[in-house]
Amino acid sequence: MTTWYTTGTPEADARLLAAWDDAPIENLEVCGMLLEIAREQVLAYAPAMPAPVEGEPIPDPPARYVYAQLQQARNLWNAGRVSTGGDIGEGQFTFTPRPLDKTIRQIIRPVDGKPHVL
């Protein structure tokens, strides 16, 4: 069973911190917004999921979507903490976060290696 990352309950917070040890959990509103925005971005980029069948439970999201949500939330958080030059870190050990970067897009929509002809 795969579910989206959330905050607000001890179980949800513990699950989030187990996956993202420096999540901004001290501010639940900001952390919750990051997770919600990341989920919305993943769903907007992802192929459409089949409509739920009436009377049946809504299917869980694919694990790759949930993982992409976590990585996108991290990127969003890091993008908000960058220096004026756009980098995080000091000296030669810096990086520039790029929200919904190529790696995250490939997690959401893996390349299947099959040709697609219209």
Identify the residue with better confidence: 50 or 43: 43
Which of 34, 24, 41, 14 lies closest to 107, judged by CA? 41
Q: How far is residue 5's CA from residue 71's CA, in Å, rounded to a whole number?
A: 11
104, 68 Cβ separation under 8 angstroms = yes
Q: What is the pLDDT of residue 83?
A: 55
Q: What is the pLDDT of residue 97?
A: 55
The arithmetic mean of pLDDT across residues 81-101, rounded, is 58
Residue type at position 110? P
By three-state DSSP, how is residue 82 classified? coil
Domain ranges, ordered by start, for the chain: 10-48+59-108
Assessment of whether the complete model's pTM goes beyond 0.75: no
And the tokens for 93?
Answer: 């050990």
